[in-house]
Amino acid sequence: MKFLNNYIFNHLLLILLISVILISGCAKATLTVRSPAEINTRKIKNVAVGGFEIGRIMLKYKTERNGVWQTHPVLLNEEQQKSISRSVRARVINLLTATPYFKVIFSDEFEELANDEALQQLVSVRGYKTKNVDAVINGKLWLEIERTDGVDLSKESLEYFRPPRSRNSLGLNLTVDQVVWWPYKSTSGTLGLEIKMTRLLPTEVVATTFETRTYSQRIGGRSGESFQQIADSFTSVLSPSKSSMTDSIESSADVLPSFEQIIADMALSIASGFVRRVAVTEKVVSYPVAEGSFPNAKILIEAGAYDLAIAQLQQATAENPDPNDLYNLGLCFEAIGDFGLAQTTYREAWQAEPENLLFAQGLGRIERLRREHPQLQRQLESR
């Protein structure tokens, strides 16, 4: 029994060493592979982007002078509100056009839709047909931004010491307590954004999200650096004037972003998460390429010519199903997002050589995707 256990252990160790040698001998290629969406939108290809309704916009400008705060509301006209809506819509379009899955249809018909009610009326019109649009993305936003122009007050003790210049000089040791003005400017805001994808035939909401983002930035005010500047400039018994301290923020290179830029950045953050849920995305990875009987496979895979590599590898494996070629074929299918065929070819390669760790890793990646993305499991089962 002991001899049998030692034999099994040595046999497994040998297989492991061979697998490590095989993997280390395989060249790695940098691939751009597709990751599945969190929501099954497989039958949605052509997408139009509607308008983003304004729920509420509050812009305020607060100032403080001599301890008295004043709030000045910033009123936007209809055209300015439409400009904000178009800015959010543009961020969504940019993200969608960057994905390899959706084709964005630019249609005035959907761009002019002001809200959900207008969309429902459009698709409910008798005889209305959408020949080239599968779904519409629209939304609603709520915005509050406050810009502040204020002053920090603090009592500072400024010490000045001048050593004696001669035996008859007493030198100078002086401490001055002074109220110092520290002007500052700040901006803070919150954006609430609802984004919705509606399939047109049959009419149903495929995905929806509501998220908020906050923003805050402040320049000027009391800081160790600005206090050191005042202390360094204190070269006489006369205290610095108020203007010399308040000019620092005006001459600073730091500037606060515009309202439009703040809104665009917050909307982009929310829209990015939504697009990842509904669209296939791309990522760059480094996977080993097997040394198969088809010598040009590595060159084509590294060049991103996956379709050409698939055509030639399918022909090669049909005549002579080399497990290494099957693995490389699965690698190409994984790169273009056809996870069903990738799973099939990885499994064929692994079944031909069950001890090959490289083949098991390829199959394991697809199995992990099945666990992480339940909708992908349904797509694979439908094949």
* pTM for this model (two decimals): 0.63
Yes or no: say if 85 and 143 are a contact pair by the CB < 8 Å rule: no
Which phi-psi region, left, alpha or beta, contains residue 322 (left: φ > 0; alpha: ψ -120 to 50)?
beta
Query: What is the per-residue pLDDT for 189?
Result: 93
Query: Which contiguous run of DSSP H or E holds residue 145?
Result: strand 135-162
**pLDDT digit string (tens) for 19-69?**
444 444 456 777 777 777 778 787 888 999 988 999 999 999 998 877 788
**pLDDT digit string (tens) for 353-369?**
999 999 999 999 988 88
Q: Could you please state the CATH topology (level 3) that the domain comprising 14-33+292-381 is classified under.
A: 1.25.40
Going by C-alpha positions, the residue among 35, 127, 43 that lies closest to residue 342 is 35
What phi and psi, each to the nearest 5 degrees, are found at residue 160? -130, 130
Give the DSSP letter of residue 188.
E
Query: What is the per-residue pLDDT for 298?
Result: 81
Other C-beta atoms closer than 10 Å to the C-beta of 288 total: 19
Domain range summary for the chain, segments of one domain joined by +: 14-33+292-381, 46-278
Position of tokens 């190409």?
332
- Angle between helical axes of 374-381 and 357-372 (0-180°, round to 10): 110
Query: What is the per-residue pLDDT for 88?
Result: 92
Q: How far is CA 326 from CA 24, 63, 320, 345, in A?
A: 19, 70, 10, 6
Query: What is the per-residue pLDDT for 132?
Result: 83
Going by C-alpha positions, the residue among 288, 285, 286 that lies closest to residue 25 is 288
Low-confidence ranges of the chain (pLDDT < 50): 2-4, 9, 12-25, 126-127, 234-247, 249, 379-383
Query: What is the per-residue pLDDT for 382?
Result: 42
Query: What is the per-residue pLDDT for 376?
Result: 58
> What is the C-alpha to C-alpha distance for residues 81 and 53, in angstroms, rounded to an integer?
10
